[in-house]
Amino acid sequence: MSQRLKGLSHEDATDVAKEVFSASDQFLGRTSNLVRILSNHSPYIARWFLGLVATVRQPGLGATTDARLRNLANIKTSMTNACTYCTAHTSIFGQGLGIGVKECEALDGDAYKTSDLFNDKEKPVIAWAESMTRNTAQRDKAVWEELKRQCTDVEIVEVSMACAMFNMINRLNDSFWTELETPEYNKKQWNAVKDLSIDDIETYAGRFPAAGQAQRK
């Protein structure tokens, strides 16, 4: 299947899209094909989307909980939705956080529940991500109670936000038939795992008014 919507190249990006690409390369290590699609057809949405993804997903850009914990939720969400594109992205990014191949294999199904690869906090987070994705979280009292027992309220909010965000991203990529980049290109995500701070995302947000004014002229 070929990608349904055309993405924007770095060479053709101007104004808001150019700001988005620069930030994506900085915060996420590269610019994904989904960001290229959004930037080409709705650059204003793309700029806020990029800020949300970076803040929720990356270490040091706003979310205060363990990035590994959040990414386990992202991987499980993508696997539960059978989103090949996002499973590849989150698994490769997870490698940069120390999540190995064996852990990813255990996440693809129920093996994580009894695996020694995950600790007592990680297991209920993974189960919660699956429950949210299957839309059973409201009635899965046992999953909720174990999550509440093992995690702080801040952790619950942030892993839930990560799960909800990737449910949205999964559906976008599946619907657009977004073309998967090469593994080598996506390994550039590892460059964005460290040396970032909340100041970086604040600076990015602060550039929006000027970029928006230029776009409207």
pLDDT digits (tens, 9 = 90+) for 166-194: 999 999 999 999 999 999 999 999 888 77
Per-residue model confidence (pLDDT) at position 205? 85
The domain 65-180: what is its CATH number?
A: 1.20.1290.10
Over range 92-113, report the average pLDDT. 95
Tens of pLDDT along 18-73?
A: 999 999 999 999 999 999 999 999 999 999 999 999 999 999 899 999 999 999 99
Per-residue model confidence (pLDDT) at position 215? 56
Least reliable range by pLDDT among 5-14, 51-60, 205-214: 205-214
Helix residue spans in 63-207 (DSSP H): 67-80, 84-96, 101-107, 122-133, 141-150, 153-176, 183-186, 198-206
Return the domain boundaries, the chain.
13-61+196-217, 65-180
**How far, in Å, CA of 130 to CA of 142, rounded?**
13
**How far, in Å, CA of 53 to CA of 61, rounded?**
10
Residues 146 and 127: beta-carbon distance below 8 Å: yes
Model confidence at 5: pLDDT above 70: yes
**How far, in Å, CA of 204 to CA of 9, rounded?**
20
The amino acid sitting at 118 is F
CA nearest to 108, candidates 149, 75, 143:
75
Tens of pLDDT along 70-92?
A: 999 999 999 999 999 999 999 99
Per-residue model confidence (pLDDT) at position 128? 98
Model confidence at 211: pLDDT above 60: no
Per-residue model confidence (pLDDT) at position 207? 76
